[in-house]
Amino acid sequence: MSYPKYQNLIGGEKLSARSGKTFLNVNPADHSDIVGEFPASEAEDVALAVAAAKKAFTTWRLVPAPKRAEILHRAGYLLSVRKEQYARDMTREMGKVLAETRGDVQEAIDEAFYVAGEGRRLFGQTTPSELQNKFAMSVRMPVGVVGLITPWNFPMAIPSWKIFPALVCGNTCVIKPAEDTPLSTYNLVQALIDAGLPPGVVNIVSGFGPDAGAPLVEHPDVRAISFTGSSEVGSLVAQRAAALFKPVSLEMGGKNAQIVLDDANLDLALEGALWGGFGTTGQRCTATSRILLQKGIASRFTSRFVARAKSLKVGNGLVDGTEVGPQVNAAQIETSTKYTAIAQAEGAKLLAGGHPLAEGLHAKGTFFAPTVFGSVAPDMRIAREEVFGPVVSLIEFSTFEEAIQIANSIDYGLSTALYTRDVNRAFSAIRDLEAGITYINAPTIGAEVHLPFGGVKQTGNGHREGLGAIDFYTTWKSVYIDYSDKLQRAQIDNAE
């Protein structure tokens, strides 16, 4: 069988893994379609990539930030020209429908143009000194070599959130993309190279977490780590980085709630719930996995939601009319199947789906039927643990205050949504929901690149993508310039 063979990108060169090991990137909608063969990198490959990034840093950090930004701007243009090609590549390797992969590429385009503007806005502060003839200011400095570990569900957008701000700040990068979706990261970096990015500034090592991700976290020349993935792995990354005194940015899981009050526009809430629950086959950290329904509208909403979920067309994302693509691999199917059994054992009522699809058009892929559970109690595992599949729980409540309590009763805090016509309750929800993102009369998915993205509790550790990324990829340096031509001893001489 003939298929493309890719290599690591290290110092501008294409290199195989030193071990010679490889793995296949397979289309989850059609396992006979091999997207490509990629290196299964290990610690030695990571070390070579870090050395290349460290060497490139010596010159890249000296490139004026506006000039670095010009490369990002050109890359954004190239991404827009190649949008359709890159979207189709992404659908083949990740599975989500073509409209969504176009959106994924568009998010990278938006990020490129947004971050390019930051090349002229890496502001510090100037402030009066407490002493005469002395000037005080602060400036942003690049961190150095940064290690980036990215997931498979947004295989171009999320790498762009990390790479672009890191570059405009003057850092160099080593990225390990998810083993399920490496091609989209290769495409993103190719646009940067074609836009004029010097060799070694961004390096790619493909492979698996324990073999390539862990050595990247542990390498002494990697000054910071940005990780997006599960809370379980993120905890391990944080512990290891802390032991090595490395700053780490974590963006992890979610168990996001959409609250629908009695006064809501039910048609709008229904569309939001379908998109939030089954868009990207539920494989988003922001997916609407819990729908909280006030009892006055619960029955009407449930019957309509279940009917729509059953009617969704599941199939290959490249086929027109497909609404829900495959899950990314067999392990995700196993997880959805496991939680279906757990939910039923705990007393939840299966209202739709609950099983893999493995016949006919679905025979060659990893598909799972859109699944809805009713009679879900807030303390059930299906209402508290992240499934990362097309599985939605319906939970009923009586009062607004009860809904807020249920929404906040989990270990995660990424995204929330409230559907209501009551502006007072909307503002109360904005204040009281424990989440990094709150939508009013919109689904839990759909973040924009120029706002901070991230969450609280076990979703994140306080850093943010988007607006907050510049803070992570720079360090502060305070500068004092004394032009008095004499020794001034700050607080000592200024005491009287």
- Residue the block writes with tokens 């500068």: 479
User: Do the beta carbons of residue 273 and residue 258 sit within 8 Å?
Assistant: yes
- Going by C-beta distance under 8 Å and a sequence separation of 6 or more, which residues neighbour residue 496? none
**Could you say which DSSP state residue 194 is in?**
H
**Could you say which DSSP state residue 348 is in?**
P
Q: Which two tokens stand for residue 472?
A: 């992570």
Amino acid at 436: G
Tell me the C-alpha distance between 49 and 51, whole Å: 5
Spatial CA neighbour of 152 closest among 239, 230, 221, 223? 230
User: Do the beta carbons of residue 391 and residue 289 sit within 8 Å?
Assistant: yes
User: Do the beta carbons of residue 260 and residue 419 sit within 8 Å?
Assistant: yes
Tell me the C-alpha distance between 8 and 3, whole Å: 17
Q: Cα Rg for the chain, rounded, in angstroms?
A: 24
Q: Which two tokens stand for residue 124?
A: 């510090």
- The H or E element that residue 107 is part of is helix 98-118
C-alpha distance from residue 230 to each of 152, 248, 344, 459 (Å): 11, 15, 25, 9
Q: Is 285 a catalytic residue?
A: yes
Please report the sign of the dihedral spanned by the C-alpha atoms of residue 128, residue 131, residue 135, residue 138. Answer: negative
Amino acid at 223: R
- Coil, strand or helix: which one is 66? helix
Spatial CA neighbour of 294 closest among 209, 170, 420, 175? 420
Tell me the C-alpha distance between 139 and 241, whole Å: 26
Catalytic residue among 100, 118, 169, 285: 285
Amino acid at 144: G
Q: State the CB neighbour count (10 A cutoff) for residue 67.
A: 10
C-alpha distance from residue 275 to each of 156, 271, 282, 457 (Å): 21, 6, 9, 25
User: Do the beta carbons of residue 248 and residue 224 sit within 8 Å?
Assistant: yes
Q: How far apart are the first and last CA of the chain?
A: 83
Q: Which two tokens stand for residue 369?
A: 């039927």
User: Do the beta carbons of residue 449 and residue 111 sit within 8 Å?
Assistant: yes
3-state helix, strand, coil in the chain (%, to 5): 40, 20, 40
Spatial CA neighbour of 354 closest among 342, 372, 367? 372
- Residues annotated as part of the active site: 251, 285
